[in-house]
Structure 1
Amino acid sequence: MTAKARTAAVLTGWALLLALAWVLGQVKLAVTEGRHQLGAMPLFGSWEPHLDATLLAPILVGAFLIAFLPAAAARWRWRWAAAATALAAVAFSLALTVAHSHPRTWTDLDHHYAGNVHLVDDAGGPAAFLAHYTRLQLDGVYPIHFQSHPPGLVMFFWGADRIGLSGLVFQNTVIQLGVAAAVLAALAIGRDVAGSASPAAPPRSSSSPRPPTGTTPPTWSSRASPCPPSPAWSSPRTAPAPAPPPSPRPEACSPGPRSCCRSRPRCWRSRC
């Protein structure tokens, strides 16, 4: 299977997984009494099919990333490839936002979190807000997102507002930074898992031959190599070097890769 075929298979599988999650959510709604306060994909929500020019943004961006990113990641160093993948996720997220038809696409974070920072001041400050947060969660005093999430995000926007950071631009920048951070974290975890799963180098055998006393070890690398090995050990340092033999004919040279024969100037031109 080629790289493009594998990419297409992964994207298709992901889309089918989202569809299956939505089907399971609909089954849960059908067999459960009461009303779920969840209207988001993948488990819940509703499909809103539409076809207009805004769909060109995610289609074009997605096609470009599928064509460019795998080839670039295969050539670049890991850090550059990870940074490019994070930027690609941000670009695709913005492209999907352009094509999204919900009226709260750009104001969702403000509606659920940033717009409710006054609750911290109403409670008497951060200490009082956090001291009674879980009790008021159970009482249903807070909005629906506060009832099922910890107070970290609203506290972040409360602190940012104290230093002059607020507004829709800042809020959506925080969202995109979260997208990039999630992608980088997933890549780092995958790299660590793949690195720890790689087989370790086999231990060196204690029965490997050692050079006789007064000799020098060979200069060729100990890693596996297609080059034919040279004589096991050279003559003692104290012994004079023997006279070189006459140049053999090209047929006497052992064939091998060009990189292996560069150390044999007499034969690599004819056989490598």
Structure 2
Amino acid sequence: MPNGVPLLKGKSVIVTGGCSGIGWGISRRCAQMGAAVFAGQRSETGATRIETLKAAGHDAHFIRLDVSDPGSIRSFVKAVHERRGKIDILFNNAGVTIERAFFEMPLEDLDRLWATNLRSVFLMSQAVAAHMKDAGGGAIVNISSNHSTASVPGYEMYAATKGGIAAMTRAMAWSLGPYKIRVNTLSPGLTATENVQQVARDKPHLAAAFADLHATREMSTVDEIADAAIFLASDLAASITGAELIADKGLTAQLCNTDQLK
């Protein structure tokens, strides 16, 4: 809160996949920091969470969005701009995770990963950046994954989409830089979302295993990842564009588990 002013005061923010997991954390933290938040999600049930932000006095809105549908993207961005008159920040967060054995990955899953995780980032950015360009600038944060750097069997196409986001970000930073639009990637690691916490509850032995994967012996919280994303979008990161910030508490920094070598 520089000079006592909320970090995102007066900003108009879009969060795709903004009602669950990391996206919900970003929506909530942006609202708490003074932004007008427009959360898009395919399921209408997401509206309930946004209502809790409204009840707390925050400027928050839910608009249905299917990022795999180009028409839905166009309608969503148009609706936000008509309501607010500007879009300052875009968080491209929506995505799906599909794990399949290499020889068993069906074409429909490949197409879903491509359309939801990668194509949507380009199309959302293209639609939003057109308004940012006319307004004199903005910030785009593309949420990827540490699978962009290192991955595991069964996640080949998922990793490809996440690596593609990081590569696309670097090119977009140069395409949009002349219009004062910054573009960065945030690549979280294993994060304590509702789904991950449920897995740990169902299989208690995994809770310790998850923690031990990290240099800090703990997973990132949703709020920690949300705050990293907001940093990249804020004026505090004014000199940063075309970068990838890996926020995984050291998970991908280790070459191997040295305990297994003793």
Relative to the length of structure 1, the TM-score reads 0.24
More strand by share: 2
Q: Which of the pair has more CA radius of gyration?
A: 1
| More contact order relative to length (CA 8 Å, sep ≥ 6) | 2
More helix by share: 1
Relative to the length of structure 2, the TM-score reads 0.25
